[in-house]
Structure 1
Amino acid sequence: MQELQSPDASIDKIGQIISKDLGMLTKMLQVVNSPFYGLPRRISSATQAVALLGLEAIKSLVLSMKVFSQFESSSQTFFSLDVLWNHGMTTGRYARTIAKEQGTDTRVMEDAFAAGLLHDVGLLVLATNTPDQYTETLALMQNQGIAEWEAERQVLGATHAEVGGYLLGTWGLSDTIVEAVAFHHDPTRSMGHTFSSLTAVHIANVLEEQEQAAGMDGPPIVADQTYLHACGLNPDMSKWEALCRGAASRPGGR
């Protein structure tokens, strides 16, 4: 993990890390050749992928795949890893699009993408390690009509976002990624109130969850308007929704 996060990480180093793990290489090629990226030709090597998508994007993908691989042998049955991965991919893509629209530098955009990919890793931790409490959390959420993260705090004393942020911190990911993951549901509790990777992930996750919840019962999924106002942003989500939908309709959406 630390090698991938190093500012000195090169195309060759990343390629070596990927080539040592056949499973990771296979998964990465499946991802970059999927309709999600809409690349003009089939990619057959890590070097080609880096050349087309950029080193930072590949680092984010590899980091995310390494994190998810830790849970592939998990016996939890609460949700599908593939569904969670796809949710993370969409959230990451939206977050990067939002950060780009705000005119941020490449580092913020790629941190937003990485944090979006990984923002729900804490769900895997809770479902795998505390299945009884997680079951209680889901029941409380349904019975009281509250958000999942609020039910988690009542039952477990911490949310999946906070657990995920802590885990990623122990694995050496950057403070900005850790913050974006830890506070993506409740960004007002963060230290900073200016646009950051956290802001992008918060908005992106709300948009993606609203899409998934369309037509379903449950508490409304809304952005933290107090936080967005503090960041100097218009809390009207229609602008961000149109932006992200437009990006999603274009091949690669980058």
Structure 2
Amino acid sequence: MMNEFINGNDLDGGLREPLTQLTQRIGFIPTSISSLVSFAVELFTLSEGLSPSTAAVREIWSHSVRTGYLAALIAETHSDCSQVIWQSFAGGLLHDIGLLILLSQEAPPFWGVVELALTRGTNLQVLERECYGTTHAELGAALLSRWGGCQEVVDTIRFHDDPFQNSETRFCPASAVFLANLLEGGGIAQDSDGVPNAACEAYLLRLGLWDHIPYWQGRMRDLQNVSLR
């Protein structure tokens, strides 16, 4: 089953190890999640060929693999449901697919938005909304929803930078992906340094995630072995 979506692609280098480790610990990957992983590999491969920013696509992929694996580790700690763990992994893998749309369709102007965000120290999503009327999180969620992704994974994409808008107040895959992405530094063109602000701290405390942050920060060193090679 693994070979259905790990097929010698250049992008599979960072994916093989976390998938193998997760299946050994959690159990067989559900068909629905396998389809999402296949979708992620195909989408990133297509974007790599279409985008003038190939290096950026690979950087997003590497960040996404690490985020997915860390989100699964977080979910393992807070849920005994294998479906939640796998949805967290898939959500981490797909959370930045909206960036692929912007990089393939709007690369030059989008890099201008990125530069402006970094120069001002402004949240990228704020400038995305000013310039495009939407955000990469909303674009990615709409794409996966149209493709037929389950609501739990769609929500991980929609709320990965803004969990406070999520109507689900309990721990869920979106919670795991939000924290994993935060600890990973926010990915490409983000100004996060992996340190939660006051609003994030309150959110993580409410979900019982805050006290575990030092442990997951320690696991970040292990994740370098699953980045894109």
Alignment-derived partner of residue 142 in structure 2: 166
Identity of aligned residues (%): 25
2:9 maps to a residue whose letter is: K
For residues 19 and 34 of structure 2, what CA distance do their matches in structure 1 show?
15
For residues 247 and 138 of structure 1, what CA distance do their matches in structure 2 show?
29
1:238 maps to a residue whose letter is: P
Give the number of equivalent residue pairs.
218
Alignment-derived partner of residue 7 in structure 2: 25
For residues 11 and 120 of structure 2, what CA distance do their matches in structure 1 show?
43
1:73 maps to a residue whose letter is: G
Instruction: Report the CA distance between 1:194 and its aligned residue.
Output: 0.8
1:95 paired with 2:71, answer yes
For residues 172 and 211 of structure 2, what CA distance do their matches in structure 1 show?
15
1:147 paired with 2:129, answer no
Which structure's relative contact order is higher, taking Cα pairs within 8 Å and 6+ residues apart?
A: 2
Alignment-derived partner of residue 44 in structure 1: none
- Write out per-residue CA displacement over residues 45-90 of structure 1, whole angstroms, 9 at most, x where no aligned residue: xxxxx89973336444323112223323313327432221111110
2:182 maps to a residue whose letter is: V
For residues 126 and 29 of structure 1, what CA distance do their matches in structure 2 show?
20
Find the residue that maps to 2:171 and give its secondary structure.
coil
For residues 67 and 191 of structure 1, what CA distance do their matches in structure 2 show?
29
Instruction: Report the CA distance between 1:209 and its aligned residue.
Output: 1.4
Instruction: Report the CA distance between 1:184 and its aligned residue.
Output: 0.3
Alignment-derived partner of residue 170 in structure 2: 194
Instruction: Report the CA distance between 1:231 and its aligned residue.
Output: 2.6
For residues 152 and 29 of structure 1, what CA distance do their matches in structure 2 show?
27
Contiguous gaps of at least 5 residues in structure 1: 1-10, 41-49
Alignment-derived partner of residue 138 in structure 1: 114
- Relative to total residues, which structure has the larger helix share, 1 or 2? 2
Change (3 A) 1:250 1:77: closer
Structure 2-normalised TM-score?
Answer: 0.78
Aligned residue among 215, 220, 227 for 1:245: 220
Change (3 A) 1:32 1:222: closer
Structure 1-normalised TM-score?
Answer: 0.71
Alignment-derived partner of residue 184 in structure 1: 160
1:61 paired with 2:37, answer yes
Change (3 A) 1:79 1:156: farther
For residues 33 and 230 of structure 1, what CA distance do their matches in structure 2 show?
32
Instruction: Report the CA distance between 1:33 and its aligned residue.
Output: 8.4
For residues 212 and 15 of structure 2, what CA distance do their matches in structure 1 show?
35
Contact 1:60 1:113 (C-alpha < 8 Å) held by counterparts? no
- Write out per-residue CA displacement over residues 81-134 of structure 1, whole angstroms, 9 at most, x where no aligned residue: 222111111000000000001133111100100010111111110122223541
For residues 137 and 249 of structure 1, what CA distance do their matches in structure 2 show?
29
Change (3 A) 1:83 1:142: closer
2:84 maps to a residue whose letter is: V
Alignment-derived partner of residue 91 in structure 2: 115
For residues 135 and 170 of structure 1, what CA distance do their matches in structure 2 show?
26
For residues 39 and 58 of structure 2, what CA distance do their matches in structure 1 show?
16
For residues 191 and 160 of structure 1, what CA distance do their matches in structure 2 show?
20
